[in-house]
Amino acid sequence: MITNRGLLTVLQRNTALSTRLQTTVGAQEVEQRDVPLKPFEDIPYPKGLPFVKNMFTFMLNIKTAHHFHTKLRKELGDIYRLRLPGVGNDLVFISNPEDSRTLYSKDGEYPFLPGFEVFGKMRLEGLPHLYPDSPGLLTQGESWSKVRRAVQQDMMRPKSALYYVDELNETAQELCDKLAADLDDNLETVKLNYTLQKFAVDATGLMFIGSHLGVIKGNPDGTKLMAAVSGFLARFQTVAFVPEKVLKLTGIYKEVCDNMETMYNICNKKINVAIEKHKTDGSLKGTVLWKLLERCGAESPIPTIMAVDSLSAGIDTTAHTATFLLYHLAINPEKQEILFNEIDRVLGKNGNMTEAKLEEMKYLKACMQESQRIWPVAIGTSRKTQTNMVLSGYHIPADTVVIRNGILSSNDDKFYPNADKFLPERWIRGCPQHQKVDPYANLPFGHGPRACIGQRFARLELYMVAFKIIQQYRLEYHHEPIDVDFTGIGHPDREVVLKMIKRT
């Protein structure tokens, strides 16, 4: 086994090398076959321009990134790079699950997510009056780890999300009532995604600050918050991968700071109201905010920062994912009917969801998994390598940004036969169509210690949306097929208009 130092020395001497590679997976080491090791410079890349290289190509194709990267993969293979200005700034893209496994296995104690250090710096330097000590989870290293350790137990425990099932029944019903009230003369939805954003604010507020924010019912703060979150997320990829000097020159840096300040101020106002109310009636008891206050102490900034981040991060992601799920059910009526039959069997035509009943809803959960497989709101996840590694036979030095093109592997027929088909059955053990697939081929919430910390809450919200709507309405879609726009995070490329027919 050759050491990293020896490996680099051999590469620098340009001698041929064949070595047995090892990939650490958990506590296991899986030996791979002998392969010739190729230098980083041999990783293929598309043609670019002098000086700017592939930067404009990268930025101009963010909106249709899934099509852009599908084309590059066909031309260049499972691994390729986009060159950016400067030295050592190239982005490496991978789509082979084995490479993803290797990448995550090398995370180390402090996984490094490119771009988060910029957001952390924005908070500490651009908004010091709001974030004097900690930027929360939008940072790296020991600072990130300290916050993650403080909040992980309360955020990732299954019971933490399920605690809210009863109350979310009411919020989901408010969503149904609002959608029904806004239907046009053809019984079609008006501003479906926008209304789902309102639901996400109310649901997240309920779970994280124990407060019914009333956004579905017209609270004006919700409109401002949603606009700020959408503006923030629209710049997320740009901030993550474009040099800070460019961000400041173009005004994007200030724009993002302004949106973060709006998000903080609105959320913090609601949180303070909830805390004051709790002092008189104990209404926060049992909520995530209360648990964080108990764990971190009343003087700690962490509970407020986490509540702010949860409120802001859970709006667009949940709304867009829910829109895609409802769309997939509408264009696959036979699958929608199977889901309705499960709901009717387990809960009846008017029953509410409970923690116990949710355990029985295998098809509901499979529908969500399948929808996210086809259209995840995050095209993939990224890391800055902290050690030398080998991906697809190429030497990848430390400090290289590697992006896992998750949407390519999750839509690959090699891993998911008939990948373009909506087949929830592929996720249900015992079904003839069930498929045992490499888990690294589909990771909609990421993986490892930097996976989405709010994923249990997001899943619950999505289950509640689909359950309530399908229980009461049959969905149809009679317009042009939609696609995903990956500006910011994945969202429908146009307004999704569904016909909602009341079930009798």
Annotated binding site for heme: 452
Spatial contact of 462 and 318, defined as CB atoms under 8 Å apart: yes
420 near 411, Cβ under 8 Å?
Answer: yes
Residue ranges for the binding site? 452
- The b-or-e profile of 314-341 (16+ CB within 10 A means b, else e) is bbbbbbbbbbbbbbbbbbbeebbebbbe
CA distance 271 to 266: 9
Helices and strands counted in the chain (H then E): 20, 14
Quote the CA–CA distance of 14 and 8 in Å, as a whole number.
Answer: 10
Helices 333-346 and 302-330 pack at an angle, to 10 degrees, of 120
Backbone angles phi, psi at 502, to 5 degrees: -60, 130
Residues in the chain, overall count: 504
Residue 181's nearest CA partner among 504, 474, 502 is: 502
User: What are the angstrom distances between the C-alpha of 283 and each of 167, 250, 277?
Assistant: 13, 45, 7
**b (16+ CB within 10 A) / e for 474-488:** bbebeeeebebbbbb
Q: Which residues, in sequence order, are CB contacts of 134 under 8 Å at separation 6+?
A: 143, 146, 147, 301, 302, 305
CA dist 215 and 201 (Å) reads 7
Residue 249, Cβ neighbours under 10 Å: how many? 10
495-499 long-range CB contacts below 8 Å, 24 or more apart? 495/191, 495/192, 495/193, 496/189, 496/192, 496/193, 496/323, 496/326, 496/327, 497/188, 497/189, 497/192, 498/188, 498/189, 498/192, 498/326, 498/327, 498/330, 499/186, 499/187, 499/188, 499/189, 499/330, 499/475
Nearest to 324 by CA among 187, 492, 448, 453: 492
User: If you search the block for the tokens 């081929």, which residue do you land on?
Assistant: 441
Which three-class secondary structure string do you get for 329-378?
HHCCHHHHHHHHHHHHHHCCCCCCCCHHHHHHCHHHHHHHHHHHHHCCCC
The C-alpha torsion from 377 through 380 and 381 to 383, rounded to 10°, is -150
DSSP state of 481: P
DSSP state of 122: I
